[in-house]
Amino acid sequence: MKILVDTIDEITVVILEGELNVDDSILLRDAFLKILKEGAKEVMVDFEKVSFVGSAGLATLIEMMQLLRKAGGKLGCCNINNNIRGLFEITKIHKLITIYDNRALALKSF
Amino acid sequence: MTDNIKAVELQAQGFLEERKYDEALKLFSQAAGSYQDLGQHQQAAMCFALAAGCYESKAGSQSLYYYASTYYSKAAKEAEISGDFEYASLMYKHAGICYERDLEFVGFSECFYLSKECYRKSLLSNLFNKKNRVWDISILQRIDFKDVIKSAVLWVFSSLSSLIWGHGERPLRTVGFGCFLVLFSALLYTQGYFMAGGFIHKPHLLEAVYFSVVTMTHIGFGDIIPLGFNRGVAVLQEFAGIFILPLFLTALCRKYLRF
């Protein structure tokens, strides 16, 4: 999995590419911690190029959402395809993490 | 091992997309079991939640909500073990909703209570960060203290709600708390003075319990007049009694009118 980090209008955008499974979720967690240590408060995860999210990926997202919230920030997700959105809804994660249709809308609403 | 689980999850998600819920839920349960064996409880919680979602999606007019709620409960337990009380609370809440849809009110009551208890624990973990796995001083320095105070206040109220009436699901707890309050106040009364029949005296325990019950239930015969310190205790006890009796009746009605 590729993880790219960009900053737009003080919002940290994490762009994921590939599959988010057990091993990749460890990489994502490390990337998140690095971002947090650098002082990021508002983090947006872009799922446009993600084809699969496993349970480990979902667990990592929840953990990072909680960590960000404790640090006074918030986490959002955007560009999620219908299958992954279905997973978010089944696992009720959409009630904990805000989901935006696209990045522009997400950056505007954050 | 993890490669196997990943393959199982991938296959299960494929079945889910094709709306083959039976096959998907079997594989999600299998993946959850494997994660349990590996001690990865957060991932197990997610897989159980997905299995529960399969049952819920499949349910429709069929009476399958019971099974969905069972899996939501399993997901909640796994989330609890992993220390993620916020997600556990959410899962218990949905387990409760599914039980209610299936007219299984005992399960609903229990899940509602557990959901509130997990919420209370999540507030505590916000304060003390029990998980502490990825905590770092640079993150610690950025804690929003307004949120900490808010969590602390909410935790106190939630703990009182749990203690006094089990979040509205344990009416007997209100009886127990009321009895404790009666006895505790009675003990305090024995330290002060009463006036009865024109005589001022230090009451013995039985008389103090009698006065405590009369005060708590707002009967107030007027045969005994508390003096000094006892007057303060009586006012506080009466004030507590204003809340205890309605709480007991509300919890009782809430619990038993469902059946």
Domains of chain B, residue spans: 2-130, 172-256
How far apart are alpha carbons B212 and B189 in whole angstroms?
8
Which residues, other chains included, contact A14 with Cβ-Cβ below 8 Å and sequence gap of 6+? A3, A4, A5, A28, A31, A32, A35, A43, A44, A45, A46
Fold identical between B2-130 and B172-256?
no
Asked which of B131-140, B151-160, B227-236 is least confident by mean pLDDT, the reply is B131-140
The answer to whether B211 touches B227, Cβ cutoff 8 Å, is no
CA distances from B254 to A58, A89, B75, B98, B168 (A): 36, 30, 27, 18, 7
Q: What is the structure's pLDDT at A10?
A: 85
Interval B211-219 mean pLDDT: 93
Interval B74-82 mean pLDDT: 94
Please report which confidence band the pLDDT of residue B79 belongs to, taking 50, 70 and 90 as the band edges.
very high
pLDDT over 60 (residue A30): yes
Residue in the structure block whose two tokens are 């790219």: A4
At CB < 8 A and 24+ separation, what contacts does B182-185 make? B182/B209, B182/B212, B182/B213, B182/B216, B183/B209, B183/B212, B185/B212, B185/B215, B185/B216, B185/B233, B185/B234, B185/B237
pLDDT over 90 (residue B65): no
pLDDT over 70 (residue B48): yes
Q: What is the structure's pLDDT at B195?
A: 94
Phi, psi of B135 (to 5 degrees): -70, 145
Q: Hey, are the CB atoms on A91 and B42 less than 8 Å from each other?
A: no
What does B137-183 look like in DSSP terms, one character per residue? HHHHTT--HHHHHHHHHHHHHHHHHHHHHGGGT-HHHHHHHHHHHHH
pLDDT over 80 (residue A97): yes
Q: Which CATH architecture has domain A2-109?
A: 2-Layer Sandwich (3.30)
How far apart are alpha carbons B56 and A99 in whole angstroms?
22
How far apart are alpha carbons B48 and B41 in whole angstroms?
10
Q: Using CB atoms, which residue from B10, B50, B143 is nearest to A70? A: B143
CATH class of B172-256: mainly alpha
The answer to whether B82 touches B45, Cβ cutoff 8 Å, is yes
Tell me what percent of the residues of chain B surpass a pLDDT of 90.
64
And the tokens for A83?
A: 């299958």
Please report which confidence band the pLDDT of residue B132 belongs to, taking 50, 70 and 90 as the band edges.
very low
How far apart are alpha carbons B91 and B69 in whole angstroms?
9
Please report which confidence band the pLDDT of residue B138 belongs to, taking 50, 70 and 90 as the band edges.
low
User: Which residues on chain B are in Cβ contact (under 8 Å) with A71?
Assistant: 139, 142-144
Interval B54-63 mean pLDDT: 72
Instruction: Tell me the per-residue pLDDT of B145-188, one tens digit each, with 9 for 90 and over.
Output: 777 888 899 999 999 999 999 999 999 999 999 999 999 999 99
ipTM: 0.87
Q: What is the structure's pLDDT at B57?
A: 82
The answer to whether A13 touches A44, Cβ cutoff 8 Å, is yes
**Residue-averaged pLDDT of chain B:** 88
Q: What is the Cα B103 distance to its own chain's centre?
A: 21
Instruction: Tell me the per-residue pLDDT of A54-74, one tens digit each, with 9 for 90 and over.
Output: 999 999 999 899 888 888 888
Chain B residue at shortest CA distance from A36:
B139
How far apart are alpha carbons B180 and B164 in whole angstroms?
11
Instruction: Tell me the per-residue pLDDT of B181-200, one tens digit each, with 9 for 90 and over.
Output: 999 999 999 999 999 988 99
How far apart are alpha carbons A92 and A85 in whole angstroms?
10
**Residue-averaged pLDDT of chain A:** 89
Q: Hey, are the CB atoms on A86 and B84 less than 8 Å from each other?
A: no
How far apart are alpha carbons B177 and B174 in whole angstroms?
5
Which residues, other chains included, contact B39 with Cβ-Cβ below 8 Å and sequence gap of 6+? none
Residue in the structure block whose two tokens are 């446009």: A48
Tell me what percent of the residues of chain B surpass a pLDDT of 70.
91
Taking only residues 47 to 106 of chain A, the set having a beta carbon closer than 8 angstroms to any beta carbon of chain B reads 52, 54-56, 58-59, 62-63, 66-67, 69-72, 83, 86-87, 89-92, 95-96
User: Which residues on chain A are in Cβ contact (under 8 Å) with B124?
Assistant: none
CATH number 1.25.40.10 is the correct assignment for the domain at B2-130: yes
